[in-house]
Amino acid sequence: MNKPLKILLAAPTKIGRTRVGLNLGQALMKLGYPVSYFDYDVGSWSQRLTPKPLRDKIAYYLGHEEERLAIAQAGREHFLRHHSYATQAKLLLETISA
């Protein structure tokens, strides 16, 4: 199995085990970098894309477990409410029917 495919297949497991996650897709696009698991390994960009304020914020949330968990739970609930397959299928059907 090639490396990009291994990274892609391992991503859900790795993301699920992280305590703080960063979605750098938009930031990378604005900087002109490709936004694809096949084009970059997030770890290789970490020092260039994490300035001191971001590192401080990550350290804060790692030190405030209850607050971090509350944010994670709210994000999960938002995702399930607005981005589930059922929600997206309903939106698709509404759009097609309109």
Is pLDDT of 64 > 60? Answer: yes
Quick one: which of 41, 34, 46 has its CA closest to 8? 41
Ramachandran region, residue 32 (left: φ > 0; alpha: ψ -120 to 50; beta: rest)? left
pTM, two decimal places:
0.54
Give tens-digit pLDDT for 5-16: 777 677 767 777
Average pLDDT (57-84) is 88
pLDDT band at 41 (very low <50, low <70, confident <90, very high): very low
